[in-house]
Structure 1
Amino acid sequence: MLQFRSLSQRLFFGYAAATLALIGFLVLFDEVTDFSLLTRLMVSLTLISLVFLILHLFFYRYVLRPLKHLMQITQKLADGGNSLIRAEKMQNDEVGDLVDAFNEMLDQIQLRKEMIVSERDRVAIALEQADDYANVTLATNKQLEIEVQVRKRIEAKLTEFQQFLTSIIDSMPSVLITIDQQFNVTQWNCEASDLSGTDSTKAIGSKVQDAFPMIAQHIEWIEQVWHQNVSRTLHNIEQTVHHQIRHFDIIVYPLKDTDAPSAVIRIDDITDKFLMEEAIIQSEKVMSLGGMAAGMAHEINNPISAIVQNVQNIKRRIAPDLAINQLQAEKSGIELDHLNHYLTERKIHAFLDNISQSGIRASNLVTNMLQFSRESGVNMQPCLIVDVLEKAINIAITDDRLSDFKDNFDLNFDQDFAAPQALVAGVFSELEQVLLNLIKNAVFAIKERMLSLNDIDEGIIHIHQYVLDNQCIISVVDNGIGMSAQTRKKIFEPFFTTKEVGAGTGLGLSVSYFIVCSHHNGQMQVESEFGHGCRFEITLPLYIEA
């Protein structure tokens, strides 16, 4: 089949076909006989063809050729040729405008291509930078992750260390309070809550004098810590805590290397230390008295013995029932009955009795003094402490010297023996003497409260016994007059007494103390406050079989 690849070929073929068709049409018709007409027709056709040819040439030059050139340029560009080639503008007509538009389009495409390439390069650079940033970010993230882990471990260690420090502070037996310069509490431990009764949540941020009333009277003294920048200490501050007298040391010292001025208040309960020091002082006094008593006892005992013995001899020499006295009276011409009547009327017998009783009393006093300077001559034996307590109580109940006091008020004994089988190594009579002294002193203290304060209806003496840590504890508690702090410090001193002259020697408690501490290796303590009774506590080691 015949094919035409260009518009001009198609036009030329169309022109030729039309001419041939016209000639053939004229030949086919027989009625055409006029040759001249045919001649004219051929001439016309020839002219027409020439006109068409001229038109075709004109059309080809001004339309088809520019379009063909434009198509060639387009094909080169489509085949990947030089993108900088442009179509040639052959005429300044519509086709030329088309070429300009085409070239402008190519310029725009080239510009867009250049922009795309530029953007592609920028994107490539951006991608490379993004990769770099991603790598840097990844490395940074890993570093941050490591730093976060390290920070978490450090924070955990710091938290653990802070909890450890808090635990140390809260576990300390001393009160620890941190304050700023305005006396606001910034730190508060458990001991401070226990002693003051103020919870830490309420104490933090409040004034220390409000949270801890014990410090209120020492605020000006504490303030000197900042003025002088030195630590300060108050010794042996006496306070009543839970109805008991306690002794405290208050230490205040400034904190160093802090942003704002701060200070720490430390309060130590020295009650046990204070009692121990008092006990040591009492022991030293007792020991010193023992050395003196050892030298004086024999010197005093000899003349006392002579006085008592001579009084007894005088009574025997004037006794009328002795034959030797009757014989000597007859020789002297004296009636013994008359003599004794005279001596009785003049109360000489009473004087002799007083001399004898005073001598015996002085002898007993010397015997008590000797308790300080000698060990007990009786071997230590296992003693059932309950028997000692019961016997001492029975003696006190039946003692005639206490009957006058017991007739004036009701006296009750509250006995609580939690360890009735407890045995201690000791001397039964000495332990009985100690308990009896404590009961007698309790009765006198109750009587004194009745007479002076008159604020109780009955006298009560609590005697409790129990075992703790291989020690037998005995407590004697009364609701008597009690003692002041000054009296409490001296009660174990020899010859110290609060009774009237002649009512006591002042050796009862000192001898009792010496018996318990020296002879029985125990301890004896006292707690008392004036107007609130007294509590004596004796601690004795339990008997251990060999």
Structure 2
Amino acid sequence: MSLAAKIFWNTLMVLAIVLGLTGWWSVASERAALEETITKHGKAIAQSLAAFSIEALVSQDYPSLDKALRTIGDHADNIVYLQISRGGHVVATFGQRGVGQTFTAPVILGEEGPEQQQIGEVSAILSKRDGNRLMTARIGHLLLNSLILFIVLALALHFLIHRLVLKRVAQLTKATDGVIAEHTPERAGTAAAPAGDELDLLHARYANLLWGLDLRERERTLTIAKLQAAQALLDDVANALPAALIVLTRALQIQYCNRAAHELAGRRLPSGQPQALLATLLPPLAPHLARIAEVADNRQAIELQRQFWPFANGQRIVNIAVYPLSSAAVGGLVIRIDDVTERTRLEEMMIQSEKLSSIGGLAAGVAHEINNPLGVMIQAAQNMERRMSVDIEANQRAARELGTDLATVRAYLEKRSILVFLDDIKNDGARAATIVRNLLEFSRKTEPVREDTDLAELVERAVEMARKDYDLKKRYDFRRIKLQVEVPAGLPAVPMIRSEVEQVILNLLKNAAQAMSEPVAEHRQEEPAIVIRAGLADGYAELRVQDNGPGFSDETKRRAFEPFFTTKAPGIGTGLGLWVSYMIMTDKHHGQLLLESQPGQGATFVLRFPL
């Protein structure tokens, strides 16, 4: 069977189904409309008879009702049966042969409401003969119209198939003959032209063409697979590197970025973007675009060490290297960005640790050296005081041998305030000895041992050490800061590593002193003050260190306990003090270190120890 015959007969079959469904729907719609008309007519007849029968039923004039029903039935062709009943008994009827539809209506006596009364019922059966006759005529007309439409559409379809399908298939077959002959090589076992329609023949010809093209496609596919494998390997290697790699064309357009570059930028860097957008996507590169462009021109690599880049998560330290690409086809360059923040800070921490270790050893040695003359000085002062005492006989005897009175000598010493000076020597010597002892205990490297500690004693020792600390370079001096301690008596002892908690309190006191010495606080109206309070809350022992400094902003408060984060100028703070304090409180003591602060309203650090 030809292509035209296949399309023609299949389309006629679909068209017949569509016309049949359309005719069935039309007949169903006509039948429903006819049923609705008969229903309305039957209800109207029943209601009219009910209204007509009220008076006759009341007067029990049944002969008149029977006569009226017969008169109505004889003059109406579509009425098959009429009946009026009362109390379940038929009082008047009219009937003839035929099939119809029944309609009933009650005979109501009285107005609407509680006084109404049903005195009978009317039934009417209407014939469907006229409706069936009308539907038969409608169906005949519909079949005739559908047949005429089917024939017209079949002729139009036959014309369109030949004009729009078969003619163009023939033209396509003729046009592909030359292409098939040129691109399809001879292959063994080529089958003869298949039997079938025009499309089967065209399919066979294209199969030969595709077989020939497949030989070339295999080579191209193999080459692409090798290129993709090489590209995937290069991508894996580049993405595995921790350094950010950005490949630029000679016009400084982004050509390739590895995963680390996207992470460094905080977004996905699009390819093929011009120089201006490169500076927008990576703003820290903007000052170096001129030097990067020189690399593309003079083909000389450059390196930029220790560049400070601001990011949303803090300042980072990076090394930048720009290398020209040797391929003449590309002629661009590659930028390598290494994040050396952690390495640099670890180096600084090691240097600082060595420095602190050296200072600690030096302080311990100096403390030992000072301790000896302090002991001699205090002992000498005590001996001087004993040898001027009037209660010792040896002192009295030595005074008499020299021809003087010890009471007179003592009166002279008191007159000239020499005894007061001697007390000052003893007191300050004892004070210096206490400072040396605290310094030795604080700098001594011992295994951390938890011991029950009195908070009042702990705070007193930390405050005493802080009062001796001042730094003119860093512009803070505890001698000019009001230190107030409010530790109530009767607090339970707290298990802790005493030296480490002393370090935490000293860190907080120094931070508060430095904050209150900042230039922004120079015009404060109140005296710089630090208040230390202790108490119990929610099963914890609390120490609150409160200052009236400038306070923390929301951003600095959120990042206050991050390592290496500092708001101080370079060279003043390392950003480790609060982090170390936080680690001591949380990791080693399983407690809490909280910060409560508002800008311009001071800051309060809360140390919470579990009991």
Q: Which has the larger radius of gyration?
A: 1
The structure in which a higher percent of residues are helix is 1
- Greater RCO, CA 8 A, separation 6+: 1
Band of TM-score, shorter chain: 0.3 to 0.5
